[in-house]
Chain A
Amino acid sequence: MATEKVQVFSDGEFDQQVLKNTAPVLVDFWAEWCAPCKRLGPTVDALAADYEGRVVVGKLNVDDNPSTPGKYGIRGIPTLLLFKGGQVVESVVGLVQKDDLKKLIDRHV
């Protein structure tokens, strides 16, 4: 299953999991009640499989982890942020095609 390649991020461990990670990290901000987030889910799973070993891919549930979305000024989900060296290098809000996401990620790997 592709989903096993997708990590679960949290407020408490965000520093360790994302910011201090030496690899680029794609974070999917989502929630259970967000229908478009659910639509984007399989795309994120597929990206995790495609970029295995090159990009860390994970999801952060905004209900359980309110402080990280607040810190990054997130006002809508799904939002995808790509981190590199602890900095946000790409940001995408809303539904996007896998091919378009790949183009964004490929700029940084």
Chain B
Amino acid sequence: MSASQDVRQVIVIGSGPAGLTAALYTARANLAPLVVEGVEAGGQLMLTTAVENFPGFRDGIMGPDLMAEMRAQAERFGTEILQGDVTAVDLRERPFRITVSGREYRTQALIVATGASARLLGLPSERALMGRGVSTCATCDGYFFRDQDIGVIGGGDSAMEEATFLTRFASKVHVIHRRGELRASKIMQEKALANPKIVWTWNSEIEEIKDPAKGQVSAVVVRDRETGRRTEIPLSGVFVAIGHQPNTSLFTGQIDLDAAGYIRTHDGSRTTVPGVFACGDVQDHVYRQAVTAAGSGCMAAIDAERYLEDLAHAAHAGAGGIAAKP
């Protein structure tokens, strides 16, 4: 008995809309979930401003406020929230083993909601200047570029949103995109294309960000993909918005991932390991919305609940079988 007491029924890794919805549902099912919130607690919405497309908020809601509400709602029904990052996961053993800040936790069911993080260009100069003029968060860092020329790398929705937002501060925003057209939705494109402070550099890749030796951004070197010509654009900040990558390094070799590293799910939120469920952006590179993440968190909770019921039945039947034996 004492051994089973420190085994949790459900641990949720991640505290974005998917993780907190999974926590809300499993808490209401009396499973006393533990959420390991991670260092990027609250997920990507913590870095956004107004969220205009989450149903139920007709005037919109600020991303961090929405996450604070979700968190409080999950806690109201008995969710326990643990700060810190999961550093190791062992799914070969049951109950599963989860390590957080050197401490081990065990759980019958695991819900993975680790989300996705901003993808980077992968240049050494980018790494050297991160936080020194290179950023992945316009709402955090735009303030420091008042009346300066800055660049946004990318052509999707998040690049358009960042570029548009940054025109509040910057004198000019250069959008540098590797293709000749935008991937962003029509509404975002139109807004950005109509903005007189945004200038466009098409079909161009970033080769280098200057100047790591000075510890600050002074320019980017771009190469035209058609002509091969190199140009230097003087900039004092670079915002990288080239998409996201799933946070799945903990699970490599333990759960089936697709070629891009996303967790493969089947029959709802099930992964290739029975008892492990995945929800939100860690398993979705198509929709990637707060509302779809929340919806899939609910699916994972219900799937986990059923799994635990089956497990309890099996244990009960197993115990009955042994008792009947002598």
Contact = CB atoms under 8 A, between A and B. Distances in A.
A33 B39 CA distance: 19
Contact of A36 (B47, B132, B145): B47
B101 A79 contact: no
B232 interface: no
Contacts of B85: 97
A45 B149 CA distance: 36
Contacts of B83: 42, 98
B41 A76 contact: no
Interface in A60-99: 62, 69, 73-77, 79, 93-99
Interface string A45-57: 0000000000000
Contacts of B130: 93-94
A74 B84 CA distance: 26
B39 A35 contact: no
Given A69-B144, A75-B141, A76-B131, A35 B101 contact: no
25 contacts: A31-B143, A33-B139, A34-B139, A35-B42, A35-B63, A35-B64, A36-B137, A38-B64, A69-B144, A73-B132, A73-B215, A73-B216, A75-B135, A75-B217, A76-B131, A76-B137, A77-B140, A79-B131, A93-B131, A95-B39, A95-B40, A96-B39, A97-B39, A97-B84, A98-B83
B140 A35 contact: yes
Contact of A75 (B46, B131, B139): B131
Interface string B111-151: 00000000000000000001111010101110111000000
A108 interface: no
A34 B48 CA distance: 10
A102 B143 CA distance: 29
A88 B137 CA distance: 25
Contacts of A69: 144
Interface in B11-48: 39-42, 46-47
A31 B142 CA distance: 12
A29 B40 CA distance: 18
A75 B132 contact: yes
Given A73-B216, A75-B132, 20 more contacts: A35-B42, A35-B47, A35-B63, A35-B64, A36-B46, A36-B137, A38-B64, A75-B133, A75-B141, A75-B144, A76-B144, A77-B141, A93-B131, A94-B130, A95-B40, A97-B84, A97-B85, A97-B101, A98-B83, A98-B84
Interface residues of B, number: 29
A70 to B, nearest CB: 9
Contacts of B39: 95-97
Nearest to B129: A75
Contacts, number: 64
B237 interface: yes
A39 B132 contact: no
A36 B141 CA distance: 11
A93 B133 CA distance: 11
A82 B128 CA distance: 19
A28 B139 CA distance: 18
Contacts of B141: 75-77
Interface in B68-114: 83-85, 101-102
Contact of B237 (A42, A75, A77): A75
Nearest to A43: B83
B144 A74 contact: yes
A71 to B, nearest CB: 13
Contacts of A79: 131
